[in-house]
Amino acid sequence: MKTLPFVFVLFLAIFTSCKRNSTDSLYNINYQNDLQTLIDDHWSRFSKGKENFPGGYALQILSPGGEYFVSAGDLSNTTNKTHFRGASTTKTFTAAAIVLLYQQGRLNLNDFVTRNIPGTTKPYLPETGEFDIPFKDKITIKSLLQHRSGVFDVINANIPDSVNQPYAGKRYVDYVTEDLNEPFHTFTITEMANVVAVNQLYADGPEKAYHYSNTGYGLLALIIERVSGQRYDQFIEEQLLIPNGLSETSFPYLGDDITMPAPFASSYYYFGGEQENVTEHNVSMHVAEGNIITTPEDLATWIKNLYTGKAGIENKYIQFLMMDCQPTYESHQYYGLGTTFTPTLGYGHNGGHKAFFTSTRYDPDTDITFVMYTNVWDFDLLNIDLYAEILNLYDLVYDAKEMIQK
């Protein structure tokens, strides 16, 4: 989920449990201590001189030579089984669910969302007024996956001042939770779509350009539900979590489901020497685009399985489609079907939510998988340089990858 423009690339530290191939000298090297020193150094430099600075870095690595987990700061006491909010890494699961249904012949990626679901008289999206979004008859399922549908992003954009609504000029979610004082309101896909429909909002015409849209991914969740006959989280659990052994991953959807399973990492805002704990949070508005709770171990396993054909997406052509990333000319660099590509790091997704920054990648050239996260947003730094915190985390990951490739 892309809560802020800088929300995507963050990460941190490195792992545990080293498995070695004694027949290959490259894999007889244990990088655990070196990686720990590396992450401690990066965190020390980042947190230096900041009073009461909370949070830390954590990094999970899967490589041909072994598995590692390392962490620093307040996250030093965590493990690769500690839960955190993975935000928009959720989109990899939503995309996988859609292409799995495509693989099963239950939908067509190139169908317009107004078309009927194969073998039924029911369209992918309801024909009711709540879903009368602009250009609906020209939006394909594939364009929703690629963020090229032009669907207005209710989560990340203020509602235009020009609309005749009490939430004009505001974020709709902020209006409900703060102005109406309903912090535990359960947002629904229909509700979010209706904001777009009733105000006839759009970012651009379909296929005109890349426009990141969490609302578009909410529509994909509804398509998954209408095609499968199951609630989004139930379908994900049955078809993706259980087969991949991801027992510590969940997707809360109710407004009052704000806690995290133990053990978990708390998250913090930091500003002017003060910190605020923001761990408990309503994520019902982020179903299918940013509501995941997971662990470094689970997420690393998922990303590697997904991009090596072991997650249940066995069709090679479909795997190619997911990883066929096109230029976006913005922070995501290149984007495919629920997949971000970063040169030298590989394929995966980023996420940022209520003071968690997360990035995960799989590099097919080296067979190395990273999961990186931090649990603090430094607003002092971000007010100076929006991307400074992200770039610092990228430096850590590049250094770690260079180390274990030697």
Query: What digits encode the pLDDT tens for the residues 281-322?
Result: 999 999 999 999 999 999 999 999 999 999 999 899 999 999
Q: Is residue 230 part of a domain?
A: yes
Give the pTM: 0.91
The per-residue pLDDT for 185 is 98
Q: How many residues does the chain have?
A: 406
User: How many whole angstroms separate alpha carbon 334 and alpha carbon 399?
Assistant: 22
Q: What is the CATH number of the domain that holds 290?
A: 3.40.710.10
pLDDT digits (tens, 9 = 90+) for 367-398: 999 999 999 999 887 655 545 666 667 778 88
Phi, psi for 335 (deg, rounded to 5): -140, 140
Strand (E) or helix (H) holding 383? helix 379-384
pLDDT digits (tens, 9 = 90+) for 231-270: 999 999 999 999 999 999 999 999 999 999 999 999 999 9
Number of domains in the chain: 1
Radius of gyration of the chain (CA): 21
Q: Is residue 284 part of a domain?
A: yes
Q: What is the DSSP letter of 261?
A: P
Question: Domain range spanning residue 196?
Answer: 25-405
N-term to C-term CA, the chain:
34
pLDDT digits (tens, 9 = 90+) for 341-351: 999 899 999 99
Phi, psi for 62 (deg, rounded to 5): -115, 125
Give residue 29's pLDDT band: very low, low, confident or very high (50, 70, 90). Answer: confident
pLDDT digits (tens, 9 = 90+) for 95-140: 999 999 999 999 999 999 999 999 999 999 999 999 999 999 999 9
Partnered with residue 326 across adjacent β-strands are: 335
Q: Is residue 7 part of a domain?
A: no
Q: Is residue 105 part of a domain?
A: yes
Give residue 5's pLDDT band: very low, low, confident or very high (50, 70, 90). Answer: very low
Q: pLDDT averaged over the chain? A: 90
The per-residue pLDDT for 399 is 86
Q: Is residue 20 part of a domain?
A: no
In 131-280, DSSP assigns E strands to: 268-271, 274-277
311: CB partners within 8 A, 6+ apart: 96, 240, 243, 244, 302, 305
pLDDT digits (tens, 9 = 90+) for 148-185: 999 999 999 999 999 999 999 999 999 999 999 999 99
Q: Is residue 314 part of a domain?
A: yes
DSSP H helices in 240-329: 296-307, 316-323
The per-residue pLDDT for 182 is 98
Q: Is residue 18 part of a domain?
A: no
Q: Is residue 12 part of a domain?
A: no
